[in-house]
Amino acid sequence: KDWREIGYAPRKVNAKIFRRYRAACDRFFNAKNDFYQSIRGELEENLQKKIELCERAEAMKDSEDWRETTPKMIAIQHEWKEIGMVPRRNASRIWRRFIAACDHFFEQKKVHTKSIREKEAENLKLKTEVTDKIKNIDTSLPAEEAVEILKELMDEWHSIGFVPFRDKDRSYNELTKAVDAQYSRLNIDKSERKLDSFKSNISEMTKSDHSRGQVFHERNKLMRQFERIKSELQTYENNIGFLTTSSKKGNTLLDDLHNKVEQNKAELELIVKKIEAIDENIED
């Protein structure tokens, strides 16, 4: 515009100055054209990347594997933010497509989580009621009948399901306290108490996928413990064969070894029952 408004230059330099001016303009507009060509290519490339993200999000939007899919959907959202702009004519449409898939998944997860929380709250109420029943077992019942009722109530408590995480330990501790009180009242054998307590722990652990590895670790630990105690038992039994009872000291050592033998046998029996309890829960 400024060039046109200036007017003519002297004829002898007019053509030369115009060619110089035109060359500068051409260089600029050619560079501008190249720039926008590269930008258009980048925008189209970004569009293709975002279309691929839409397809990935749509493929997962109906998944109910919340634990596995949630981090994948979050990762896709981070990828989206890093890609950059797309052609303006496509920007709104591709965004609506992407956010619709993401919103669908997270809305379904929200509904699922709400139902889980409601179920866990109901489970807590039911477990509390069972614990109260354990506390209030009729003291006039024969011991054998009371033990049977106690074990049935313990099985009922463990069959109920998960409670809110913040209440898990408190609920379990209340059960343990109530059961221990009944065991003490009914004079239940200490090893039987240990076994029932162990079964309760294993039952809780096998309900969670995260804890199943701990269950197998516990089984391996028990197997090693079994072999160690079995070896000790053989040593004690061999030593008994070498001792004589001709002296008071000999009698004392022999009695001590016999006690250790009986103690080891009882421990081995308890370990076997614990391993069987683990195997039963794993099979279930």
Q: What is residue 65's predicted lDDT score, i.e. its pLDDT?
A: 92
Q: What is residue 42's predicted lDDT score, i.e. its pLDDT?
A: 85
Closest CA to 158 of 196, 108, 193: 196
Look at the block and give the residue holding tokens 């060039």: 3
Q: How far is CA 229 from CA 174, 257, 271, 272, in A?
A: 33, 14, 10, 12
Cβ proximity of 229 and 237 under 8 Å: no
Cβ proximity of 221 and 211 under 8 Å: no
User: Consecutive sets of 10 residues in the chain, 284 residues long: mean pLDDT of each?
Assistant: 73 77 78 70 89 96 93 96 90 95 95 92 96 92 87 88 90 90 78 73 68 79 90 83 58 78 84 85 68
Q: How far is CA 42 from CA 45, 49, 52, 85, 131, in A?
A: 5, 11, 15, 9, 66
Closest CA to 60 of 51, 52, 75, 72: 72
Q: How far is CA 216 from CA 107, 278, 279, in A?
A: 36, 8, 9
Cα separation, 100 vs 156, whole angstroms: 44
Q: DSSP letter at 209? A: G
Closest CA to 112 of 73, 157, 63: 63
Q: What is residue 208's predicted lDDT score, i.e. its pLDDT?
A: 64
Look at the block and give the residue holding tokens 């009722």: 149
Name the H helices within the chain. Answer: 2-6, 11-60, 66-83, 88-135, 143-159, 165-186, 190-205, 212-242, 248-283
Q: What is residue 170's predicted lDDT score, i.e. its pLDDT?
A: 93
Question: Helices 66-83 & 88-135, crossing angle to 10 degrees?
Answer: 150
Number of Cβ within 10 Å of residue 101's Cβ equals: 21
Cβ proximity of 212 and 206 under 8 Å: yes
CA 146 to chain CA mean position, Å: 38
Cβ proximity of 153 and 198 under 8 Å: no
Burial (0-12, 13-18, 19+ Cβ within 10 Å), 120: middle
Closest CA to 204 of 174, 170, 161: 161
